[in-house]
Amino acid sequence: MSDPRWEARADLVVVGTGVAGLTAALTAGSLGLRVLVVTKGGPGDGNTRHAQGGVAVVLPAAHEPGDTVQRHARDTHAAGAGLCEADAVERIVTYGPDVVERLRRTGARFDTGEDGVLARTREGGHSTFRILRAGGDATGAEVERALLAAARDRRVAMLTGHTALDVLRTPEKEVAGLAVLDETAVPGLISAPAVLVATGGLGQLYRATSNAEGATGDGLALALRAGAGLSDLEFVQFHPTVLFTGPGARGRRPLVTEAVRGEGGVLVDVRGERVMTGVHPLADLAPRDVVSAAITRRMAATEADHVLLDATHLGPEAFRRRFPTVHAMCAAEGIDAAREPIPVAPAAHFACGGVLATVEGRTEVRGLYAAGEVARTGLHGANRLASNSLLEGLVVGERVARAVADDLRDRAPAAPDAACWPDRPVTAAVVERDVVQREMSRHVGIGRSADGLAEAAATLTAGSRPRPLDSARAVEDAALTMTASALLAAGAERRETRGCHVRTDFPDTDDIAWCRSTTVRLDEATGQPAVHRPVPLRGAA
Ligand code: SIN
């Protein structure tokens, strides 16, 4: 790596401008920390703005009769198929009401009913109506608007158009800063004792995804290279209802929120038969993994590449009012969602696993923190409960800022010195993005087998070339390659079907051998991701 052309200094560098990153930056600023937010795009280019459904939370003054945080926790565990961590679930759902109240005080406006009480909707896996929404089906956009406005008001320093290249560490392996590249590939160095990765997900590993273009697994690769472990990576959630616009559709596809089914919409196949009847007691509102797998089976049985989501019972006026985003996105594809069934198919949506982290965002590496979709706190297990992700981003975003402030009190900031800067890798193994997306879509979607996983791994190995990390695109491609290898290792290891991980060669859930998480780290000898036993995290309860 050529020497940095500029240097800056902060107490905390936050990589990413989604709900977790912005919440952390605002909280850290209020605690007196010098914060610098780094994002490869513009502010708010991540997945947060695309979240339609809402925030799952049980507010003391606005909940359905009989709903409780314990019931929310039970639904979370049921969706997570045995792999949620009880402590993480309990703490995140319990902290939820406070963080949502603070978000409202920050300026976020949630929808209310005619009685002025907060409106609540329902999505897959929820046993009752407990999801707050904004703008009908534009909750993420409203949350992001409020957080960005607060960040502007409070003058949070933000470096847009800068790609995080590598976490720099001292010879003692503690975080010392972050190397970045600007849009013209000029390298820069930010000295900081704390780096928070809040970079979002990995949907761009697949040909079709609901995720933003920048969801290329960057934070997972950064954390792996810095020495952190990734857990539960094999559990990639496929959203059941992503708008189907033809077999050749690639890249980010419009989401059709689960709340459409929450308001009574039903899935039918191309012959007009219900998809979810007899599959699960919650039928169309079964947890997402169950619905996506059922749709995949029905598409195979009917030799069709999509099914249909029929919400015409709402009537045109009500549909347009309740789901303006879905209505507009469908209209852009020539579909009148208010009057005709919507063609949909499952697509990659959410990484249930990620950087092994506590609810306070601490990872295995001193000074490295993770929050939001990139982190694996134990909340989601093998399948995330709908609308738990904005909640997790808000809770962990706030708590990680407090954890950084606490940790920095015991630790003198270490500036990166000549010993740690030049040793950084200048090249990484990179496979063409099209090849990665083709192999992942073919072999690592809903329905995986040892043969398919091995074939994908062999193709990636054969197609891998060393490439200098001298542009944002190269950094993304290297991240996609490394994340794909890590996911393949985790997927091959788990020889059972559980949650989002559907093995055609091991169709049963094996609670004796596999009711535990897998963790992937970089193998020191090969430099490749490999499965390891997890180690206890500092500060984990
Ligand atoms: C949706 O609205 O269906 C997506 C929300 C989520 O992923 O939690």
- Per-residue model confidence (pLDDT) at position 418: 41
Q: What is the pLDDT of residue 21?
A: 97
Ligand 1 touching residue 27 (CB < 6 A): no
pLDDT band at 539 (very low <50, low <70, confident <90, very high): low
502 CB-near residues (< 8 Å, 6+ apart): 289, 293, 446, 447, 448
CA–centroid distance, 193 to ligand 1, in Å, is 35
* Nearest Cα residue to 95 out of 393, 348, 380: 393
**Residue 449 pLDDT:** 98
Query: What mean pLDDT is predicted for residues 302-320?
Result: 95
Beta-carbon contacts of 248 under 8 Å, excluding residues fewer than 6 positions away, are none
Q: For 79-118, how does the pLDDT look when each residue is reduced to its tens digit (9 = 90+)? A: 999 999 999 999 999 999 999 999 999 999 999 988 888 9
Question: Distance from the CA of 496 to the center of ligand 1, in angstroms?
Answer: 26
pTM metric for this prediction = 0.94
Q: In this predicted model, what pLDDT tens digit does every residue of 466-483 receive, in sequence order?
A: 999 889 999 999 999 999
Residue to substitute in 50, 122, 387 for testing ligand 1 pocket (most ligand atoms within 8 angstroms of CB): 387
Could you tell me what percent of the chain has a pLDDT over 70?
Answer: 95
Q: What per-residue confidence (pLDDT) applies to 131?
A: 96
User: Measured between alpha carbons, how far is 297 from 294 in angstroms, rounded to an integer?
Assistant: 5
Handedness of CA 479, 482, 485, 488 (dihedral sign): negative
The answer to whether 165 and 177 are in contact (CB under 8 A) is no
Q: Has residue 459 got a pLDDT over 90?
A: yes
> From the CB of 386, is ligand 1 less than 6 Å away?
yes
pLDDT at res. 422: 47
Q: Is it the case that residue 516 has pLDDT exceeding 60?
A: yes
Query: Which range has the worst mean pLDDT, 164-178, 361-375, 433-447?
Result: 164-178
Instruction: State the angle between helix axes of 388-409 and 139-153 in degrees (0 to 180), rounded to the nearest 10.
Output: 30
Considering only CA atoms, which residue is closest to atom 2 of ligand 1? 53
Q: What are phi and psi of 139, to 5 degrees?
A: -65, -45
For residues 493-504, give the mean pLDDT: 97
Radius of gyration of the chain (CA): 22
Cα of 387 from ligand 1 centre, angstroms: 5
325 in Cβ contact with 259 (< 8 Å): no
Give the tens place of pLDDT for each residue, 155-204: 999 999 999 999 999 988 999 999 999 989 889 999 999 999 999 999 99
The pair of structure tokens assigned to 217 is 């697994």
Output phi, psi for 23, to 5 deg: -65, -40
pLDDT for residue 51: 80
**Residue of 129, 139, 201, 47 whose CA lies nearest to 325:** 139
- 532 versus 382: the higher-pLDDT residue is 382
User: pLDDT-based confidence at 47, cuts 50/70/90?
Assistant: confident
Tokens of 468: 């200098």
Ligand 1 binding pocket includes 391 (Cβ within 6 Å): no
Is the CB of 258 within 6 Å of ligand 1? yes
> Does ligand 1 come within 6 angstroms of the Cβ of 389?
yes
Q: Which residues are catalytic?
A: 288
Phi/psi region, residue 303 (left: phi>0; alpha: psi -120 to 50; beta: rest), is left
Two structure tokens written together for 230: 């990734």
Residue with tokens 């083709």: 438
361-382 b/e with 16+ CB inside 10 Å = b? bbbbbbbbbbbbbbbbbbbbbb
**Ligand 1 pocket: which of 57, 237, 239, 253 to mutate (most atoms <8 Å of CB)?**
239
Other CB atoms within 10 Å distance of the CB of residue 152: 11
Report CA(512)–ligand 1 centroid distance (Å). 32
**How far is residue 442 CA from its own chain's centroid?**
21
Strand partners, 522: 529
For the chain, the residue count is 541
pLDDT at residue 61 in the model: 83
Nearest to 437 by CA among 471, 483, 494: 483
Q: What is the mean pLDDT of residues 341-346?
A: 96
Which bin fits 505, alpha (ψ -120 to 50), beta or left (φ > 0)? alpha
Dihedral-angle region of residue 228 (phi above 0 means left; psi in -120 to 50 means alpha; beta otherwise): beta
CA distances from 461 to 118, 218, 363, 465, 488 (A): 52, 20, 29, 9, 12
For 221-280, the pLDDT digits (tens) are: 999 999 999 999 999 999 999 999 988 888 899 999 999 999 999 999 999 999 999 999
Q: State the Cα–Cα distance between residues 28 and 390, nearest whole angstrom.
A: 19
Tell me: pLDDT of 331 over 80. yes
**How confident is the model at residue 4, as a pLDDT?**
76
**Closest ligand 1 atom, residue 386 Cα:** 8
Q: What is the pLDDT of residue 116?
A: 87
Beta carbon of 51 within 6 Å of any ligand 1 atom = yes
Domains of the chain: 8-200+352-410 (3.50.50.60), 240-349 (3.90.700.10), 424-532 (1.20.58.100)
Per cent of the chain over pLDDT 90 is 84
Token output for 245: 């616009």
Nearest Cα residue to 59 out of 123, 110, 19 = 110
Ligand 1: atom nearest CA of 52 is 2
**pLDDT tens digits along 383-421:** 999 999 999 999 999 999 999 999 999 776 665 554 455
pLDDT value of position 291: 96
**What is the residue-averaged pLDDT of the chain?**
93
